[in-house]
């Protein structure tokens, strides 16, 4: 290798004394051993960038770390929004779902819209860092449903006229929505799990230093 000379630019090889100036680049040739590695060699020597476990992309079907639980709870919450929320016996005889109830009382929409937003929020988080970063948002949405249910149960319906009696009972959909919201809040504050047991999908050579 010490008897070989090369052009610093194109790296064309020449024997010692063959040429002093590269005919292609018009640059003085130098001993090959004195030249730094070429650009291609440097690229081959560079280690692959390792993605941290918390930033590795998980499959769409991943259900761990609360992701699947929140998605299922959101679907169940949407179903509960269309279940009976109130049974009215006087002055009318009718049963209203959460959806129908919201058409008469707009703030009830919060109990359905929150589930509608929570579903894509959970499914769109595909890394552990994204899941943990969405804890506050997921908890807020679950709390919004819980607040809606609690407010509806605590507010007494006043009759439109003192001589008109109002008789009603709350339906199963209202209680189901409240129970689901409590469970969703539990999973929301733990969304993404801990950073101490993160699985890694990174291919390893076997000679890395583990920390």
What confidence score (pLDDT) does residue 42 get? Answer: 58
Same domain? For 61 and 30 the reply is: no
What confidence score (pLDDT) does residue 64 get? Answer: 92
What confidence score (pLDDT) does residue 1 get? Answer: 45
Whether 63 is in a domain gets the answer: yes
What confidence score (pLDDT) does residue 207 get? Answer: 46
Same domain? For 36 and 57 the reply is: no
Number of domains comprising the chain: 2
Write out the chain's pLDDT in tens, 211 residues: 447 887 877 877 877 777 878 887 877 777 877 777 766 665 555 555 677 888 889 999 999 999 999 999 999 999 999 999 999 888 888 899 999 999 989 999 999 999 999 999 999 999 999 999 999 999 999 999 999 999 999 987 776 667 777 788 999 999 999 999 999 999 999 999 888 877 655 554 444 444 4
Q: Which two tokens stand for residue 130?
A: 């994204």
Whether 133 is in a domain gets the answer: yes
Predicted TM-score of the model (pTM): 0.68
Same domain? For 10 and 93 the reply is: no
Tokens 């650009």 belong to 39
CB atoms within 10 A of CB 29: 22
Contact 75, 184 (CB under 8 A): no
Tokens 């640059």 belong to 27
Same domain? For 22 and 119 the reply is: no
Whether 195 is in a domain gets the answer: no
What confidence score (pLDDT) does residue 107 get? Answer: 94
What confidence score (pLDDT) does residue 41 get? Answer: 62
Same domain? For 26 and 68 the reply is: no
Whether 19 is in a domain gets the answer: yes
What confidence score (pLDDT) does residue 44 get? Answer: 59
Contact 110, 160 (CB under 8 A): no
Same domain? For 166 and 80 the reply is: yes
Same domain? For 118 and 33 the reply is: no
CB atoms within 10 A of CB 65: 22
Nearest CA-CA partner of 47 in 211, 201, 203, 198:
203
Same domain? For 63 and 142 the reply is: yes
Same domain? For 29 and 99 the reply is: no
Whether 86 is in a domain gets the answer: yes
Contact 33, 1 (CB under 8 A): yes
Phi, psi torsion values for 14, nearest 5 degrees: -140, 150
The three-class DSSP label of residue 172 is helix
Whether 114 is in a domain gets the answer: yes
The three-class DSSP label of residue 49 is coil
How far is residue 152's CA from residue 194's CA, in Å, rounded to a whole number? 36
Give strand ranges (E) for the chain: 4-6, 13-15, 30-31, 84-90, 94-97, 167-170
Same domain? For 21 and 91 the reply is: no
Same domain? For 62 and 25 the reply is: no
Contact 137, 121 (CB under 8 A): yes
Domain that holds residue 114: 53-188
Q: Which two tokens stand for residue 145?
A: 């449903």
Same domain? For 170 and 68 the reply is: yes
Whether 57 is in a domain gets the answer: yes
């Amino acid at each position: 290798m010490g008897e070989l000379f090369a052009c610093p630019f194109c790296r064309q090889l020449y024997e010692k004394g063959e040429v002093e100036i590269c005919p292609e680049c018009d640059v003085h040739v130098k001993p090959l051993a004195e030249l730094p590695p070429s650009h291609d060699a440097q690229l081959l020597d560079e280690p692959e960038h390792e993605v941290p476990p918390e930033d590795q992309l998980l499959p769409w079907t991943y259900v761990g770390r609360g992701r699947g639980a929140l998605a299922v709870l959101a679907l169940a919450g949407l179903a509960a929004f269309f279940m009976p929320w109130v049974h009215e016996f006087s002055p009318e005889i009718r049963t209203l779902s959460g959806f129908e109830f919201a058409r008469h009382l707009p703030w009830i929409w919060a109990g359905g819209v929150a589930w509608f937003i929570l579903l894509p929020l959970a499914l769109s988080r595909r890394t552990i860092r994204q899941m943990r970063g969405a804890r506050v948002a997921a908890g807020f949405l679950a709390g919004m449903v819980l607040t809606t249910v609690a407010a509806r149960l605590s507010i007494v319906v006043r009759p439109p006229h003192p001589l008109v009696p109002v008789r009603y009972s709350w339906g199963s959909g209202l209680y189901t929505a409240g129970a689901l919201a409590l469970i969703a809040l539990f999973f929301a504050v733990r969304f993404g799990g801990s950073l101490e047991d993160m699985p890694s999908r990174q291919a390893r050579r076997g000679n890395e230093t583990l920390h």
